Amino acid sequence: MLRTRRVSYLEGLRYQGKESMLAWVLHRITGLGILFFVGTHVVAAFFLNAIGDNISKSVTLWYESTPFQIFIYFCVLYHAFNGLRLVVEDFYPPVLRYRRELLWLQWLIFLPVFGLPAFLMVLSLFSGSA
């Protein structure tokens, strides 16, 4: 069945998707983010050690910068928390009754665990010690 999407993602979030759709979109984005980073990292490390070219050097500098590290920390942490919730829901479906509560609980745990280190990383970025 083919169906064209007539609403934007933001409209979908407001209309019916709400927390679940946000989790789905973020799970997808963070998953692709991790795959992109790990793929780039592995390939760059390979070429850096095999031939030591300048492209690998600048790619390495780029993903070692603080903004990218914060992004990748967000990706890994969100994907891990959300994935754990999905596994619990898939293997023990009765909790689906409390799905909204689970999603909010997940944000409640995620935000401080992500926010504090991210805040410290931003601080060190501006104080210049990173």
Where along the sequence are the contacts to another protein (CB under 8 A)? 1-3, 5, 28, 31-32, 34-35, 38-39, 42-43, 45-46, 49-50, 76, 80, 83-84, 86-87, 90-91, 117
CB of 103 to another protein, least distance (A): 18
User: Judging by beta carbons within 10 Å of its beta carbon (0-12, 13-18, 19+), is residue 55 exposed, middle or buried?
Assistant: exposed
| Least distance in angstroms from the C-beta of 119 to another protein | 14
H or E stretch at 129: none
* Number of residues that make up the chain: 130
Q: Which one, 91 or 126, has the nearer CB to another protein?
A: 91
Closer to another protein by CB, 48 or 103: give it. Answer: 48
Tokens describing residue 69: 């590290």
In the complex, least distance from residue 35 CB atom to another protein, rounded to whole angstroms: 4
User: What's the min distance (Å) between Cβ of 93 and another protein?
Assistant: 13
Rounded to whole angstroms, how far apart are CA atoms 12 and 103?
17
Tell which residue, 76, 98, 100, has the closest CA to residue 23: 100
80 versus 103: smaller Cβ distance to another protein: 80
83, 74, 98: which is closest to 27 by C-alpha? 83
Select 1 or 108, whichever has its Cβ closest to another protein. 1
